[in-house]
Amino acid sequence: MIARARRGTGENPFTDVGCIIVDEAHERSIICDLIVGSLKENHAKWNHVKVAITSATIDLDLFSGFFNNAPVVEIPGRMFPVKVEYVVSNGQSSGVIEVSKDTLRRWGQKVCIDHQPGLV
C-alpha cells in the first residue's frame, strides 16, 4: 500500500480500490502504524476507499477514537483453553535445542496418534 501511494497517480493512487483491510492491527508494527497513519491522514483525499481494521484483541476505543469514533463491528468468537508446559533445561544452549526437539516430537505424536482436538 505504501509503495502504491508513493508512486501513485497524483492525489489519489487508489482510484481502482474499494476497500483496504488492515489485519492484526494490534501487533503495532512500524509498517502497520505507517499504513494506519497514512489512511487517517489522507482520508479526505481517499474517502471513496472503505477501511476495515481487524484484530481479535485490539483496543476498540483506541482505534475507533483514532479514526474519529469510527463505527465498530464486533463478531463474537470464543477463546480456546491454552495449556502452558515449561521445559526444564540443563542450561546449555545445545541442551535447549535437544529438549525443544524432544518436546515437539512428543506433541506431534499426541496430535498424530491420539488425535486430540485443539492440541495445536
| Average of per-residue pLDDT across 41-55 | 87
**pLDDT tens for each residue of 74-119:** 888 877 787 777 766 666 666 777 778 888 888 787 777 766 566 5
Instruction: Return the closest-CA partner of residue 51 out of 28, 33, 30, 35.
Output: 35
* pTM (predicted TM-score): 0.56
- Give the start-to-end residue ranges of the domains of the chain: 2-66, 80-120
Q: Place 42 in a pLDDT band, splitting at 50, 70 and 90.
A: confident
